[in-house]
Amino acid sequence: MEVARQARAHVARLDLSAAQVAVLDGQAHTARALWNLLHEYCTFRQGRLASVKDCDAAIRRARREIDWMGRLPAEAAQAVLRTYRQAWANFFDPGHPAKRPGFKSRSRSRMAVDVPQGRDLNIARLNRRWGAVNLPKVGRVRFRWTRDLPGVTRGGPAGRITGARLVKDAFGWQIVFRTEAVVAAAPIAHRGRHLALSDGTTREHGDWLTSREKERLRRLEKKSARQRRTRSPGRPASKRLARTYDRIARLRATAKRRALNWQHQTTTELARTYGVVVVEDLPIMNMVRSATGTVERPGQNVRQKAGLNRAITGQAWGRTVILLGYKARDRGGLVVKVPAPGTSQTCHRCGHRDPAARVRIRYACVNSACGWAGHADTNAAINIRNAAGTAVSGRGDLGAARSAKRQPPHAA
C-alpha cells in the first residue's frame, strides 16, 4: 500500500520556572529586534533588496559585535531570516494577500521563537500527563501531554517531529510541534451516511464568555480607554495600562480557547459520522469590511456594522471549514463548497428569488403559487444541497441558527 507524509501541528502547554520564562522572553525580544534590524538593513539600502547572503553575513557580524544578540540561538536567528524573506516573497506574489513587511512593535507583535530542527528536541514521555523536551539555552522543560506524537510514543503513529515553535499568549508559553505522520496515500472510503442539515439539524454552542466575564471585559476596556487618555502623546504605556491590557488579553484568549475546543470537538464528530459535507463558500473578508467610508463620503450605520463584524470574526467560520476539511480528508470524506449568492434569497421549492422573502431568520416565499415558509437557514441549506447535486447540505457555519448576512450568529 502506498503511503504519504502528512504535515500537522500540535500545541502543548509548557511548564516553566520564572527563570526559564525570563530566558524565553529575552529570546523572543531578540528575535523581534533582529527582524527590525533586517528590515532596516534591507529597506534603507540603495537599489535592490539585499540578498540572502548579505543578510546572513550581517547577522553573523551583529552576533559577534552585539552582546545581547547572543541570547537568541543561531538556528532561531536563521529562522527569522527565512521568515523575513518569505514575507517579501508573499508580498511580491500577485495571488497572495500578504501586505508589505514592516517593523514589529514591542507591545503589539506576538512573542515567538523558532526551533527549526526537531532532532535536538529529545522528546520523551514522563507519565500520563507530562512529557519533556530540550529547548536551546533553556534546558529540559516539561510540557502537557495530551496526544501521542509521531515517532515518539512506542506503538503510536509513525512519523517524526520536524521542528517546533515557541509561542507566548495570555496564558504563558506554549510549544507548537511540527509533525510529519506517515498515512495511507489513499484513505479508505468513508462508509458513514451523508451529512444532511437541511432538515433543521444543527450543532449548537453558547457564548464563548459568561455574562460576568463579558461585564468584566467591558469594564476593563473602559478602564484602558481612560488610562490612554491620560497618557502624554509619544510616551510609552504605563505599567497600569500594561496590566489592564494583559487582563483583557487573558479574557480574549479564554474565549478563543473555548471556541477552538468546540470547533475541534464538533468537526471531529462530523468528520467521523458523515462522508460528504457541503458548505457555503462565504466571502468572509468582504463581509467584515469596515463601513467607515471616507471624509467626503462617510459610511452609514458604522457602529452597527462594527458590531456585526465582531460577531462574524468571533465565530471563525473559515477556521471551522478548514478543520473540517482536513479531518474529513483523513477519514476518506469530502468537503464541497458551493457559491453563496442567492442561497438565502431563493425559494428551494419553486426557485423564485426575491430579497423581500427573507426577514431576519424567517423565510416566506412571495410566490403565490408556492407560499413555502420556514427557517431561512433551512431554506438556504436545501439550496446548497441542490447546488452541489448531492443529498447533502450545510451552511457556511455548519448549521448556524442565524444568517451570516443579516444577523450576528449565536449557533453553529
pLDDT digits (tens, 9 = 90+) for 329-385: 888 777 877 776 777 778 877 877 777 777 777 778 877 677 778 777 777 777 776
262 grid coordinates: 468546540
Give the chain's residues under pLDDT 70: 1-4, 45-47, 183-203, 282-288, 291, 293-297, 299-302, 304-305, 307-308, 311-315, 340, 368, 385-412
> So what's the pLDDT on residue 352?
75
141 grid coordinates: 522543560
Per the CB < 8 A criterion, the answer to whether 30 and 199 are in contact is no
* Sequence spans of domains, the chain: 3-18+114-184, 20-108, 267-388
Q: Which amino acid is at 172?
A: G
**Strands 172-184 and 159-169: what pairing?**
antiparallel
Taking CB atoms within 8 Å and a gap of at least 24, the contacts of 145-154 are: 145/12, 146/12, 147/10, 149/10, 149/123, 149/177, 149/179, 150/179, 150/180, 150/181, 150/182, 152/123, 152/124, 152/125, 153/125
Neighbours of 346 (CB within 10 A): 24
What predicted TM-score, i.e. pTM, was given to this entire model? 0.68
* Alpha-carbon torsion (353, 354, 355, 356), positive or negative: negative
Per the CB < 8 A criterion, the answer to whether 251 and 259 are in contact is no
C-alpha triplet 171, 174, 179: angle, nearest 5°? 150
Q: What are phi and psi of 144, to 5 degrees?
A: -75, 120
Beta bridge partners of 179: 8, 161
> So what's the pLDDT on residue 247?
92
| Angle between helical axes of 18-43 and 74-92 (0-180°, round to 10) | 40
What's the gap between Cα 68 and its chain centre? 32
**Residues with Cβ < 8 Å from 294, sequence gap 6 or more?**
none
> So what's the pLDDT on residue 185?
57
> So what's the pLDDT on residue 409?
32
